[in-house]
Amino acid sequence: MRVLGIETSCDETGVAIYDTDQGLLADALYSQIAMHAEFGGVVPELASRDHTRKLLPLIQQVMDEAQLKAADIDAITYTAGPGLVGALMVGASTAHGLAKAWGVPVLGVHHMEGHLLAPMLEDDAPEFPFVALLVSGGHTQLVAVRGLGEYELLGESVDDAAGEAFDKAAKMLELPYPGGPQVAKLAEQGDPRRYRFPRPMTDRPGLDFSFSGLKTHTMVTLKKAKAADDLDEQHCADIARAFEEAVVDTLVIKCRRALDQTGLKRLVVAGGVSANTRLRERLSHELTKRNARAYYPRGRFCTDNGAMIAYVGAQRLNAGEQDTGPMKAVPRWPLDSLAAPSTAQD
């Protein structure tokens, strides 16, 4: 089965073709970062308009790359949520329109399920069951994964997600958008001995996260440095280092607890923050001590992409799922509300 996957949940337009026998045939991604950077964050209306402009050319691009025609596509999948409703509707309407024109099934899939299973696209893919850490701009979650659609939410952020906290720290440090990579780059020059920021919610049991207090601590530290006229480039780097260390340590501590709680030895880490070098280093150190292992998607599949949507859609289509009614655009959609294919209801 050859599946065309479409991702338009936020500020990246992703398209890919996945073949259940041959694997990934082609993928393309257009990022809107340059457009949104002027505003310091994603502008939903602009995002929707840009998806409208870029989606069809990207579909043609991957079709050409894979040397396929419309008659060669067996099904179409798209991100139905969660995400920006206008952006989601661009992908959903395009998918449903093409599916009707080409006479093939269409299926809306969950964006975070895509991230969750993105490492399955790699040659050395993890086997079920495993614990997954989903860390992105909008989500920080720990999930026990027993199989496709068999997800138990172990913990999540009660306020800001880790990626969102990175972006807000970047704004405080007057770094360009998107903030996460910029904070990490600045932190490389920081002195880890100058500050130690709190590791939120690690002094109590449980697997939930909270990064709003860390954000406030960062803001207060910056204000004190400014008031003392002591905020030079090195001082900013030291603060960035302390912030990054606090976020990374918090994520690692919670992952360690999740593995201990479930007794599992495999950890999937996905979402934009999963590309953070310091996080990968710390997790590698911790998991080696536990005879456990981490799995990651390749670099370009850490952020939003069409390949993960095509892959997840292919698995569910193979199990007999498809949209039977109108298109779906669900801005808020809890991951643990999904069902395994044998019991899923469209």
Q: Which residue ranges are tagged as binding site?
A: 111, 115, 134-138, 167, 180, 276, 304
In 3D space, the residue among 184, 166, 179 whose CA is nearest the CA of residue 33 turns out to be 179
* Structure tokens, 176: 């360009």
User: Which residues have a Cβ under 8 Å from the Cβ of 310 and sit 6 or more positions away?
Assistant: 3, 4, 5, 16, 17, 18, 24, 77
Distance CA 139, CA 133 (A): 10
Distance of CA 211 to the CA centre of its chain: 17
Distance CA 336, CA 143 (A): 9
Q: List, as residue ranges, the binding site for substrate.
A: 134-138, 167, 180, 276
Q: Specify which residues 81 forms β-bridges with.
A: 110
Residues 124/308, Cβ–Cβ less than 8 Å: no
SS (HEC) of 160-208:
CCHHHHHHHHHHHCCCCCCHHHHHHHHHCCCCCCCCCCCCCCCCCCCCC
131 vs 113, 150, 153, CA distance in Å? 13, 12, 10
What's the start-to-end Cα distance of the chain, in Å?
21
Q: List, as residue ranges, the binding site for Fe cation.
A: 111, 115, 304
Distance CA 127, CA 255 (A): 18
In 3D space, the residue among 266, 304, 247, 326 whose CA is nearest the CA of residue 143 turns out to be 266
Distance CA 266, CA 124 (A): 13
